[in-house]
Structure 1
Amino acid sequence: MTQGINQSRRNLFSRRKTNVLRPPWVKQDIEFTDICTRCDKCIQVCETHIIKRGDGGFPEVDFSIDECTFCQKCSDICPEPVFDKAQDTPWQVKANIKDNCLTHNGIWCQSCKDACDPRAITFTMAVGQVPKPQIDINSCTGCGACVSPCPNDAIGMAAN
């Protein structure tokens, strides 16, 4: 019985990986919630308003609102050492197409392609079928511009 209690306590205090997307250029080798003071400065300065208060009041990115323009205002205004603009990429997420994409049901839609400035999303033609989206992971910037225009919430952002 004592071993079960100890195991439960260990799980209670262990750090869990989260799927929450933090603002761009957040250092990858830190525990964000240990350093961020929840001052909301990054939320207030975000030009596309995609940074919002998430669980525990910590800033999260919500691509259902809009895209990230990589303006760096969030990292410029933050008084805490959570950002590293010297990183090669703002974050390690890329767009992906979910199974509920309208094209999988024979419905012609190219909303994601139209919204993608780097042209990372292309559509492959096939005889007798609607064109299917393909994402060039190397061209995808992770800006999330393709997420909000999707009428079926079929674009996700995940770590590459």
Structure 2
Amino acid sequence: MTITDNTLQLVRLENAGELHLDWQSVEEIVGAVLARVRARDAAHRIRSHVPPGLPLLRADPVLLAQLLENLLDNALKYTAGAIDLEVGTDGDAMEVRVADRGEGLRADSLAFEPFRRGDLGARRGSGLGLAVCRAIAQAHGGALAVSRRDGGGSVFSVRLPVVESPPVPEPA
């Protein structure tokens, strides 16, 4: 996305932009994103763990895919080692974690602020990616957080609410 596209999307999301919500399979969203991102990852550094049978999310699949793809692209850009993608549930929330072994951001980093690049200002970019990711998570009633990874690197955690999906009608 261009800087203009990211800026417009951030403004829309922060002003209660319209989401196209429907019941979504996280396994399918993750699979589609991994197919695109792995095509740009010649070293095959992304390791994923997505258990079967996860609950459906009421979400906008395009926005969730953008959030996940941006987190993975950032991890590929800022680390030379393996990147771990894990999805799981914790009570009434689903958590998607992207963990790398890069330089790492401080937990109090400004990276989530628009046009701020956190601690890694030497790299190219607009400084909007993580702000857009956080806005997408918040628009879905969730949150995006960063923490230091034991042994070095960062862990980006997206928590999204899991609500009971409607019953599936039985065939007649």
TM-score interval, normalised by the smaller of the two chains: under 0.3
Q: Which structure is higher in strand share? A: 2
Q: Which structure is higher in helix share? A: 2
TM-score, length basis structure 1: 0.22
